[in-house]
Amino acid sequence: MRVLVCTCKGKIQLPKKDLGPNVILEQHDDLCKKKFQIKPDEKVVIAGCSPTVMEGLFPHATAEYVNLHEHVVLPGHGIEKAWDLITAAVAKLEHVTPVTTRVFPIKHKEVIVIGGGIAGIEVTSQLARNGITVTMIEQKPFLGGTVAQLDRLYPEGTPYGHTLMPQIGNMLQNDTSRIYTNAEVTGVTGTVGNYTVSLHTHPRGVIECTNCGKCADVCPVEVDDAGKMRKAIYYEPTYPDIYAIDFDTCTRCGECVKVCEGKISLDEKGIDKEIQAGAIVVATGLAWYDVARVEEYGYKRLDGVMTTLEFERAVTSGRLNPKKIVFIYCAGSRDSKHLLYCSKICCFLGLKEAKLVVDRFPDVQVYIAAMDMRSSGTFEYLYNTLRERGVSFIKGKPSEVFQRNGNLVVRTEDLYTNELLEIEADTVVLSSGFTPDTQTFNKLGVRLEHDFPILFENASLGNMELPRGIFTAGAATFPAGVRDALIDARKAAFSVVNLFHQDKIEMQQPNAVVNEDLCSVCRMCIGTCPYGAISIVEDKIHVDETLCMGCGICAITCPSYASQLEGFNPAALSSHIRALVRQGDILALLCKWSAYNATDRAAYDRVAYPQNVRIIRVPCSGAVDISHVMDALQNGAKGVLIGGCYPNACHYARGNFRAKAREQILRINLDLLGFNKNSVRLEWIGKDEARKFASIVKEMNK
Amino acid sequence: MKYALFLGCTVPVRAQHYELSARNTAHALGIEFEEMSGASCCGFPMKAVDAETSLLIAARNISIASALNLNIITLCNSCTAMLSDAQLELQNNSFYRKCKELGFAFPHDVTVKHYVRMLYEDIGIAKIKAAVKKPLSALNVIAHYGCHYMRPSYLYGFDDPEVPHTFDELVTATGATSVKYPDKKMCCGGSVLGVDEALAVTMANHKLQIAKTEAADALISICPFCTVMYEDNQRKAEEKFETQYNLPVLYYPQLLGLSFGLDKNAVGFRFNRVRPTALLAKVGGES
Amino acid sequence: MIDLKNADVNFKWEIIKHEGGEQLLKCFGCSDCAASCPVRYFDERYNPRKIIRLTLLGLKEQVLSSPFLWFCAHCHACTERCPQGIPVAELINAIKNYAVENGFCPEGYKVQFDLLKKLGRLYEVEDFDLKKRQKLGLPPIDKTIPEVVKILEYTGIEKVVKR
């Protein structure tokens, strides 16, 4: 083991002392400016500036950082503290499980894009341009997704073709993409760089096609396709340029077969296939919430009640000529019985539909009943335009839609006037929200939180660092308009290109490892992991290396000490504490994402705190065990402070709640063992709250 | 099939025809009732004063049925809600402990159901239809659910709180036509009667007016409170709104008994304040 | 004008401690409850949204002394529709309970309390009623149920009602 100590511009001069066998102490000026050769499996103590700085310069996994600059030099604490800190770090490293380097070869530099909507098309286009082979899997017979169903795009009513057709053209100009329509993913195995995706292609019915359209002429089945009428055999002008049979409505009467100039087969079989890829992009887009579940609004029960999509398609195809319309916003959104979240784009969509209808029918009366109008950004202009065009806005959530004298009646309270209103109308449009594609996410093992991919939630963490080959793009990540979906798609393409620039990924991030000899498969770790990285594989606990973020919560939860976080195992923390804490000390176990940084801030801002406060940096406040508190108290500590992020702001999603949950049990146990149960404090300390930190430790030191 | 019959306050004293017809139609369907000796008020009247007191009174009533090991059948919508609420609350440990402190025991798990729900779920439309001897096809009636028959849905999980249909189906099973009408879920106003009589009467009048517009032969009720509003206060509504309704208000078991061909005394038509003479003449009966 | 100087910031925290009032703070004021309310449909003096908003603002006196608080018919139409999953009728009931604790018990409830204490039921069962029941072939019922008194004593509600 090597101990690299910075002299801190001459302020740290350590006496020659023996740190034990096989421990070499080296003192350097300007440690941070030097390059050191450190072997991958070597344990090393780096004593210099704050680990927040040094970690970036010495990204060596099995290192323990000693903060000489911010914890000794700047606060003006004595040199003996520096020595104590170094000795304790050595004691810790002796017991640490080294961090192993994991290598993931990028075997297949090919990508699978699931979903052929605007986002999927953009990803494919961008990747193909970079010479990457892409396989696109689209569920429907034609590409285009939701955008292809719309007449116009908001905010200004651009025809969808202005956006979608050039996109498809761009994509097709590169011959590195293969497109499967009518296809679905049936299974996925493997890991980054080496995935195997099995897919099933459903029969299209039309095998050769001249696009003459005679089949649709003779087809007797009329289908209402979200507000627009079509036949059971039909064509969408996107891609491919071939008719398709909708076998859900087809009666197999055979009329089309008789007139076909090409080849139609009603008994075509589906095809199963396996494709290998190094990365997968999920671009499955939007699914509309089934607004019939919002029963009080009478969708599917009352004639004239429709969804925004149906309304748009019915009006633009000339099927509907409304005189008086009520739009009901948030139908099934921000609702505990339906979708708890705001889908973000439905307010805009409703405004767009309102404009679409006032443009076509100048005499139409339009009411928009919304509990809140969320017209963020430039959509405020559209909102202004519509008010100027005479659209009436009502604030309040309508209670119900019912029929009276052949008319639809919307009953609502108008919060602006505080009056109960009833509006009679011929058309009621329900602006519903959108649901996530949990099915595909589940197949791919993407962890969801609030129904949407957690990668999205934690985007600020930089998920590109994860050695994970699954990316999301467009509205699959969260409901989004075309502009945002395209931006997101380019981001996903960029991530894939970045990934494929390497032949292998080397990961040195600390991971949880399970000692099978000790593990009783009690499954406590499974529930405690914030990332769903732990599962049972063949009756054994399995940690998914690509999902583990190294918080250490499982290691602390494990009752048999079988789960260990590399670089931070409970035994190592124990020896660290025992070596550091003396009679009358205060031990501060501080989360490295917030509370620990407050101590650095204390140094810069000259906020004083007593020298007997012994600070240990832990990955998470949730990664502290009762036994560690006991270690400190047995060594004679006056108190133990556990510092973490504020509620709902934990770097590891839920770690601080784990700490909070453990606090009470901790106190009970301390009481039973004869310690003062109030000698422990759990506090939320933000990264700049130096004064809060100082006042807490001063109080504890009294 | 055997149940514990919970009568509550109003039914055994003020609506004996409901009790009588309910017992006799049930008997015709092979249902037996055990009396809940010692049962008190359900507790609902104390809810606005102190929810816990009302729940404890309800829990005591449940414990009586629990000792009998029989599921509870209620005749009043409010009793159903109150007892169901206590049933749910009993899963709360601190409430359960309070019940224990008061000496209530719950040796058996029992359920609470309204009489009409029991007919729908436990007997079934088919069996009821089979028992109809005199289909009442000449009648157009208004089915009034009352609030606490299916609401709050978190207590019941039964029928559809927005578009209820079970009671309509039961009414239709007698051969009568259950008229489709607006504001079906409208409250009778009963709970407001003690606070503001004029308002309560206005609320009741809403549905009486609808019944008149729809030319209904009767309003069918399943709750003594609702009947108080629609029948006992009908005259007040007529006076206040200067109109004539003369609308018979029958309890559902009365209608059902009629279709079963039960004796007129067995369903107690003579206790109905608004005499259903015309209605009975229509179906070839007599009052 | 509402003067928030007179607001009691603890009022909302008191209500959420009461049975049925736990979810008060979820309200985002969409007014679906008021639009669903049959009482409000006929009489605009009663408005559940307004009661909830005043409660959230801490206007204790105004809420508790209002005679319209007692207009809630407890029909649960609001409960079914509240997008935030608040059992609104139960919430209004919690506010009623709190009003009673603070000495705002309407006379009608005092009468009902006395009846329950005396009889264990809301109506006096006279011999005439029992005879009538007998004639109809209906089983006899208890004239009084004294066990109810035990419950009333246990919760100590009499002191509160008679404040």
| First CA to last CA distance, chain A | 39
Encoded amino acid at A112, one letter? I
Lowest mean pLDDT across A371-380, A438-447, B185-194: A438-447
**Could you count the other beta carbons within 10 Å of the beta carbon of residue A501?**
10
Nearest-CB residue to C41 (from A335, A397, A420): A420
DSSP string for residues in A504-567 = EEEE-S--EEE-TTT-----HHHHH-TT--EEEETTEEEE-TTT-----HHHHH-TTS-EEETT
**How much is the pLDDT for C40?**
95
Q: Which of B254, B234, B258 is nearest to B244 (CA)?
A: B234
**How much is the pLDDT for B58?**
98
Encoded amino acid at A604, one letter? Y
Chain B contacts of C108, Cβ < 8 Å?
A: 194-195
Query: For A404-431, how does the pLDDT look when each residue is reduced to its tens digit (9 = 90+)?
Result: 989 999 999 999 999 999 999 999 999 9
**How much is the pLDDT for A31?**
86
Q: Which residues of C touch A (CB under 8 A)?
A: 28-32, 34-36, 40-41, 44, 47, 49, 80-85
Q: Which residue did the predictor score with more confidence, C39 or A437?
A: C39
Distance (Å, rounded) from C-alpha B83 to C-alpha B113?
Answer: 9
**How much is the pLDDT for A646?**
92
What angle is formed at CA A467 by the lines to CA A464 and CA A472, rounded to 5 degrees?
Answer: 50
CA distance A684 to chain C (A): 23
A407 near A398, Cβ under 8 Å?
no
A341 near A333, Cβ under 8 Å?
yes
**How much is the pLDDT for A461?**
35
* Beta-carbon pairs below 8 A across chains A and B: 10
Chain A contacts of C83, Cβ < 8 Å?
A: 330, 334-338, 397
The percentage of chain B sitting over the pLDDT mark of 70, rounded to a whole number, equals 99
Nearest-CB residue to B60 (from C71, C147, C161): C147
Closest residue in chain B to residue A293, using alpha carbons only? B162
Residue matched to tokens 């839920």: A654
Q: Which domains does chain B have, with CATH numbers?
A: 2-115 (1.20.1050.140), 132-282 (3.40.50.11810)
| Cα distances (angstroms) measured from residue A605 to each of A600, A601, A688 | 9, 6, 10
- Whether omega before B152 lies within 30 degrees of 0, making that bond cis, reads yes
Mean pLDDT computed over B210-233: 96
Domain ranges, ordered by start, for chain C: 4-101, 107-161
Chain B contacts of C43, Cβ < 8 Å?
A: 196, 199, 202
Strand partners, B77: none
Chain A contacts of B182, Cβ < 8 Å?
A: 402-404
What is the DSSP secondary structure assignment for residue C138, as one 8-state letter? P
Give backbone dihedrals phi and psi of A77, rounded to 5 degrees, phi first.
Answer: -80, 160
Structure tokens at B150: 């299916």
Q: Which residue did the predictor score with more confidence, B7 or A37?
A: B7
Chain A contacts of C40, Cβ < 8 Å?
A: 420
Chain A contacts of B187, Cβ < 8 Å?
A: none
| First CA to last CA distance, chain B | 31
A54 near A79, Cβ under 8 Å?
no
Query: For A207-252, how does the pLDDT look when each residue is reduced to its tens digit (9 = 90+)?
Result: 999 999 999 999 999 999 999 999 999 999 899 999 999 999 999 9
Q: Which residue did the predictor score with more confidence, B37 or A562?
A: B37
**A63 has pLDDT over 50:** yes
Half-sphere exposure of residue A152: CA atoms within 13 angstroms, side-chain side? 22
Distance (Å, rounded) from C-alpha A605 to C-alpha A599?
Answer: 10
Closest residue in chain C to residue A338, using alpha carbons only? C83
Determine which of A291, A295, A300, A305 to mutate to test the interface with B (most B C-beta atoms within 10 Å). Answer: A295
Distance (Å, rounded) from C-alpha B62 to C-alpha B87?
Answer: 8
The percentage of chain A sitting over the pLDDT mark of 70, rounded to a whole number, equals 97
**A40 has pLDDT over 80:** no
Lowest mean pLDDT across A135-149, A656-670, B199-213, C89-103: A656-670
Distance (Å, rounded) from C-alpha A570 to C-alpha A565?
Answer: 8
Distance (Å, rounded) from C-alpha A431 to C-alpha A413?
Answer: 18
C16 near C56, Cβ under 8 Å?
no
| First CA to last CA distance, chain C | 31
Q: Which of A281, A697, A613 is nearest to A473 (CA)?
A: A281
Determine which of B154, B162, B186, B213 to mutate to test the interface with A (most A C-beta atoms within 10 Å). Answer: B162
Sign of the Cα torsion A536, A540, A546, A550 reads positive
Closest residue in chain A to residue B153, using alpha carbons only? A337
Chain A contacts of C32, Cβ < 8 Å?
A: 371, 396-399, 413
Q: Cβ of A385 under 8 Å from any chain B Cβ? A: no
Closest residue in chain C to residue B5, using alpha carbons only? C139
Residue matched to tokens 């204790």: C60
State the alpha helices, DSSP H only, in chain C: 11-16, 32-36, 38-42, 48-57, 60-64, 77-81, 88-101, 107-119, 127-136, 147-155, 157-161
> Which band of pLDDT confidence, cut at 50, 70 and 90, is reported for residue A463?
very low
Mean pLDDT computed over B159-166: 94
Strand partners, A197: A188, A275
Distance (Å, rounded) from C-alpha B115 to C-alpha B128?
Answer: 14
| CATH T-level assignment (fold) for domain C4-101 | Fumarate Reductase Iron-sulfur Protein; Chain B, domain 2 (1.10.1060)
**How much is the pLDDT for A156?**
64
Chain A contacts of B183, Cβ < 8 Å?
A: 402
**How much is the pLDDT for A454?**
63
> Which band of pLDDT confidence, cut at 50, 70 and 90, is reported for residue A160?
low
Q: Which 3 state secondary structure label does DSSP give A435?
A: strand
**How much is the pLDDT for A555?**
86
**How much is the pLDDT for B30?**
96
**B60 has pLDDT over 70:** yes
Distance (Å, rounded) from C-alpha C81 to C-alpha C26?
Answer: 14
**A524 has pLDDT over 80:** yes
A554 near A589, Cβ under 8 Å?
no
Lowest mean pLDDT across A157-161, A552-556, A611-615, B74-78: A157-161
Distance (Å, rounded) from C-alpha A333 to C-alpha A337?
Answer: 9
State the alpha helices, DSSP H only, in chain B: 10-14, 16-28, 51-68, 77-89, 93-101, 115-118, 125-131, 153-156, 166-173, 197-213, 224-227, 234-240, 252-260, 264-267, 277-282
Lowest mean pLDDT across A28-32, A57-61, A284-288, A382-386: A57-61
Mean pLDDT computed over B79-104: 96
**How much is the pLDDT for A465?**
43
Strand partners, A229: A224
**How much is the pLDDT for A597?**
95
Contacts of B65 (CB under 8 A, 6+ apart): B4, B6, B36, B71, B72, B110
**How much is the pLDDT for A464?**
43
> To the nearest whole number, what is the mean pLDDT of chain A?
90
Phi-psi region for residue A249, left (φ > 0), alpha (ψ -120 to 50) or beta? alpha
Q: Which residues of A touch C (CB under 8 A)?
A: 296, 330, 334-338, 371, 396-400, 411-413, 415, 418-420
| Cα distances (angstroms) measured from residue A338 to each of A332, A452, B278, C32, C83 | 5, 15, 48, 15, 8
CA distance C22 to chain A (A): 15
CA distance C148 to chain B (A): 7
Contact A411 C35 (CB under 8 A): yes
Query: For A464-508, how does the pLDDT look when each residue is reduced to its tens digit (9 = 90+)?
Result: 444 578 888 999 988 999 888 999 899 899 989 988 998 988 777
| Subunits with 3+ C-beta pairs closer than 8 A to A | B, C
**How much is the pLDDT for C87?**
97
Q: Which residue did the predictor score with more confidence, A125 or A546?
A: A125
Query: For A86-96, how does the pLDDT look when each residue is reduced to its tens digit (9 = 90+)?
Result: 999 999 999 88
**How much is the pLDDT for A477?**
86
> So what's the ipTM on this one?
0.95
Residues A393-410 as b/e (b if ≥16 CB within 10 A, e otherwise) read bbbbbbbbbbbeeeebbb
The percentage of chain B sitting over the pLDDT mark of 90, rounded to a whole number, equals 96
**Could you count the other beta carbons within 10 Å of the beta carbon of residue B100?**
11
Closest residue in chain C to residue B99, using alpha carbons only? C151
What is the DSSP secondary structure assignment for residue B110, as one 8-state letter? -
- Using a 10 angstrom Cβ sphere, with 0-12 exposed, 13-18 middle and 19 or more buried, the burial of residue B157 is exposed
Distance (Å, rounded) from C-alpha A252 to C-alpha A267?
Answer: 9
Distance (Å, rounded) from C-alpha A701 to C-alpha A698?
Answer: 5
**A607 has pLDDT over 50:** yes
Distance (Å, rounded) from C-alpha A307 to C-alpha A293?
Answer: 13
A46 near A27, Cβ under 8 Å?
no
> Which band of pLDDT confidence, cut at 50, 70 and 90, is reported for residue A157?
low
Stretches where chain C sits below pLDDT 50 are none
